[in-house]
Structure 1
Amino acid sequence: MRRSITFALLPALAMMLLACQPPGGGGEGEELFVTIATGGQSGNYYPIGGSLASLYEDELGATTTVEATGASVDNINLLDEGRAEMALVQADAASQAYAGEGPFEEPVDSFSAVASLYPQYVQVITIAGSGVETMEDLAGKRVSVGAPNSGVELNARAVTGAFGLSYEDFSPQYLSYSETIDGMRNGNIDAGFFTSGIPNPSVTDLSTTDEVRVVPLEGEGVQNLLNDYDYYSEAIIPAGTYEDQEEDVPTVTFANLLVVSNELDEDTVYELTRTMWENIERIQQTNAAAREITLETAQDGIPIELHPGAERYYSEQGMR
């Protein structure tokens, strides 16, 4: 049976509430519950999820929970286990889940897309004096590849492989963004993957104390990525994104997705989708990455099925 978080009638609870209320008050309760799985508190997912939760509370009277997680892979598992209704995930993780590849031993298709949010930029970050100037220089270094079960780690594995490197060629460290920053400052980490919107808040923080360098992704390695994965695109991290970054740096991007459990019915997801887009200016105020979330690009780069509720909303807007 499908779970519905929209206007769920709770008769037994309603009777209890009626018994406790003063004369003339109350009635049957109607409640909306949304748990949003995000990422680490130092990344972009967590504040955007928090902004969505606040929006749903104010506009739909929802009861919401924002979960800090290991991000994409963890979030897909939470959806599949029925422990979250909504999540932010990377397009690459979603694609591999549907295919049963990478960290997913069998296909996981218990979720579907609501929207493409903002571009996820692959940022390989180091600091002056590390000896890392190209991807090939990661060999023999201590490299943070992201938290375990994160989309960052999934992406780091694909990118290093495309450049002819394996985890045996360097010392992989499974760290969160904040742990990676601390490691760079303490001299324990030489470089790290920060796969996120730009600017990444943790890298911005690092640039206040150290000379940040963004390692370019270019040449044959990028062509390998484009050939092997259809959701990657070439992109530029503009000069000035971080302090001391004087030139544009080539890299690759793919989409971040807002996804929901397939246990949610069409009407529920329609309301969640409509409410987000009708109040998108509020979400865009969250941070720099969120400013790139637009209705015009809502269906770009989605490699999985669109939920029928979201599809209905886009059809009403003449976008399907």
Structure 2
Amino acid sequence: MLKSKKFLVILAVFMILAVVLSGSIAAQGRTFLSIATGGTAGTYYPIGGAIASVFNNNIEGMNASAQSTGASVENARLIYNQEVEVAIIQNDIASYAVAGENQFEGNQVTNMKGITALYPEVIQIVVRADANIETMEDLKGKRVAVGAPGSGAEANASQILNLFGITYDDINEDYLSFGEAAGRLSDRQIDAAFLTAGIPTAAVMDVAATQDIELLEFSDSDVEKINEELPFLTGVTVPAGTYSGVDNDIQTVALQAILVAEASLSDEVVYDMTKAIFENRQSLVDAHSRANDITLDTALEGMTVELHPGARAYFDEVM
């Protein structure tokens, strides 16, 4: 009887070890990825979610998920700290990060590599139509959302305001995410908001559905001045009808959203990721219209960091 019980205990131990071992082996055969995006009311989050789905559906053993974050500056720091494997970042912020400049002085991000350019990110200065804001100078004394702390939008807001001789001392600044800024505009608690995102931006559409808005427009000379000081920013047009009530084309500036990877990701994994994006592009387009801008012809436009060898290998094959 004792021998029988002893045998059963040993058998149970072996079975538990077998389950643990098999689970370990299965885990070793999977690749877990966190993709840092932005706030849920912006463009990064839905695009990042669509990219995660493409990876999961087309790369064997892949388990990718999109993570909502404070966007570009925070995403660069998450890559630096190896807290995420992939991130969407503005190309100007990525450039500052790898060079250790501006916000990254003393904290150079040396482990960031590029995968592909994604789409233009348009700087939109959304104002309430009744706020009497026609020019940048009119923002003085107004309540202005400048972006979430640690976001590329906030960095852009500060840079552009400074180019026009305006500091945060001249405005009542509020550090808000896209969703928060939309809510405050709708509730008439702020007068204007800086947003840097692909168009149409969900947060702006939400505001336009509840009240009259306008987009602050830059003149040709404004665009020239901005581009001279901030070469990442180039002139673009927000087409009439992009948002309810915005009935004329609006000239503003834009930069580029890029997809980056933590440098230690294997060449094979990054090759598979890059291939999956371009061979399943329609799935991305079906998820968000901004993905129409993700093409092989523009894959390297605005790429401000060195390509990951895995991405380079794919582009060498198809270009």
TM-score by shorter chain over 0.5? yes
Please say which of residues 148-157 and 55-64 is displaced more in the overlay.
55-64
Are 1:207 and 2:208 matched, yes or no? yes
Q: What does residue 63 of structure 2 align with?
A: 63
Q: Structure 1 residues 307, 27: closer, same or farther in 2, change over 3 A?
A: closer
Which whole-Å deviations, capped at 9, do the CAs of 1:242-281 have from their partners, x for residues lacking one?
1111111111111100000011122221111111111111
Secondary structure of the 1:70 match is coil
Cα pair 1:112 1:261 within 8 Å, conserved: yes
Residue in 2 that maps onto 1:83: 83
Q: What's the secondary structure of 1:313's corresponding residue?
A: helix
CA shift, 1:217, in A, is: 1.9
Is 1:280 the equivalent of 2:287? no
Give the drift of 1:290.
2.0
Aligned position for 2:99: 99
User: Which segment drifts farther, 196-205 or 97-106?
Assistant: 97-106
2:147 aligned with 1:163, yes or no? no
CA–CA distance in structure 2, aligned partners of residues 233 and 54 of structure 1: 32
TM-superposed CA distance for 1:223, in Å, is 2.2
Assess, with a 3 A threshold, how the Cα gap between structure 1 residues 207 and 16 changes in structure 2: closer, same or farther. Answer: farther
Write the distance in 2 (CA, Å) between the matches of 1:305 and 1:292.
21
1:66 Cα deviation from its structure 2 partner: 1.7
Q: CA deviation at 1:17?
A: 8.7
C-alpha spacing 1:17/1:143, structure 2 compared with 1 (3 Å): farther
- Indicate if the aligned counterparts of 1:285 and 1:291 stay in contact, CA closer than 8 A: no
Residue 153 of structure 2 aligns to a residue whose secondary structure is helix
Deviates more, 1:220-229 or 1:35-44: 220-229
- Size of the aligned set, in residue pairs, is 301
TM-score, normalising length: structure 2: 0.90
Aligned to 2:188: 187
For 1:72 and 1:27, how far apart are their aligned partners in 2?
A: 34
Question: Are the equivalent residues in 2 in contact too, given 1:86–1:259 (CA < 8 A)?
Answer: yes
Q: For structure 1, which segment, 282-291 or 269-278, has the greater mean C-alpha deviation from structure 2 after superposition?
A: 282-291
Cα 1:140–1:33 change in 2 (3 A) is same
- Quote the RMSD (CA, aligned, Å): 1.9
Deviations 1:200-255 (A, max 9, x none): 11101111111110100224442232112222211111111111111111111111
Closer, same or farther in 2 for the Cα pair 1:126/1:33, shift >3 Å?
same
* Identical residues among aligned pairs (%): 38
Is the aligned partner of 1:145 residue 2:146?
A: yes
Tell me the residue number matched to 1:125. 126
Distance of 1:248 and 1:40 partners within structure 2:
27
Amino acid at match of 1:166: T
8 Å contact 2:144–2:192 — kept in the other structure? yes
1:33, 1:62 within 8 Å by CA — same for their partners in 2?
A: yes
Equivalent position of 1:20 in the other structure:
19
Provide the C-alpha distance between the structure 2 equivalents of 1:191 and 1:258, rounded to a whole number of angstroms. Answer: 29
| Aligned-residue offset at 1:16 | 8.6
Unaligned 5+ residue runs, structure 2?
Answer: 1-13
Alignment partner, residue 7 of structure 1: none
TM-score (norm 1): 0.89
Please show how residues 215-254 of structure 1 align to structure 2 within 5 Å.
215-254=216-255
Partner Cα distance (1:314, 1:303) in 2:
16
Distance 1:285 1:155 in 2: 30
